Amino acid sequence: MNSAPEKPPIVLMDENDIRRALARIAHEIIERNRGASDLALIGIRRRGVPMGRRLAAEIARIEAQPVEVGELDVTNQRDDRPRNQDGLGTTQIDFPIDGKRVVLIDEVLYTGRTVRAALDALVNLGRPARIQLAVLVDRGHRELPIRPDYVGKNLPTNRSQRIVVHLREIDDEDAVLLEERPEERSD
């Protein structure tokens, strides 16, 4: 069996597109929540964390009020992946979430299973007044009834494609890429 040659990824969003999308999401969060009081942003590890920090900085700049930011590891709540054998992930939420308006942050919404796992993890930590979801990219193909409150860009895909988000804090660049998975073929 030979596989088809790999196609280079297509850049769907560059650094400026990502910056504008996050600025818009920050404004929408402020508008929907009537400001930043009792607001907390919790990034889903891995790339949701730097996105959460960027959004918090933008909201703080606009509202002149700091916003708490936490990070949530959902590895042990996933129902479609092996559980972390050593137990605890790297959840770091240094503030109570009871009564807060929590915005979960993730880079790509696909099946909804990561978000479901994040909701399970959050309710184990406290009882927020409200939980909202912000994603940079919604690519469709939901397996669970989950819908984001804030979306940077809707990018319909097919299942043979993959959306890859690069953020400078982790990957030294900001970009959203579309990759085609190579198809197996037999000769």
Alpha-carbon Rg for the chain in angstroms: 17
Mean pLDDT across the chain: 91
**pLDDT tens digit sequence for 125-171:** 999 999 999 999 999 999 999 999 999 999 999 999 999 999 999 99
Domains parsed from the chain with CATH numbers = 15-157 (3.40.50.2020)
CA distances from 23 to 5, 55, 156, 161 (A): 38, 7, 22, 27
Contact 115, 133 (CB under 8 A): yes
Nearest to 94 by CA among 170, 41, 132: 41
pTM of structure: 0.89
Question: Locate tokens 């404004």: which residue?
Answer: 27
Adjacent-strand bridge partners of 131:
102
Average pLDDT, integer, range 2-12? 79
Q: Cα separation of 54 and 9, whole Å? A: 25
Q: What are phi and psi of 50, to 5 degrees?
A: -65, -30
Q: Cα separation of 25 and 172, whole Å? A: 22
Contact 136, 153 (CB under 8 A): yes
**pLDDT tens digit sequence for 86-118:** 545 689 999 999 999 999 999 999 999 999 999
Nearest to 47 by CA among 129, 170, 145: 170
Pairing state of beta strands 10-13 and 130-138? unpaired
CB atoms within 10 A of CB 166: 20
Q: Cα separation of 88 and 97, whole Å? A: 19
Dihedral sign for Cα atoms in the order 178, 12, 149, 45: positive
Nearest to 67 by CA among 56, 75, 58: 56
Q: What pLDDT is stored for residue 186 in this prediction?
A: 44
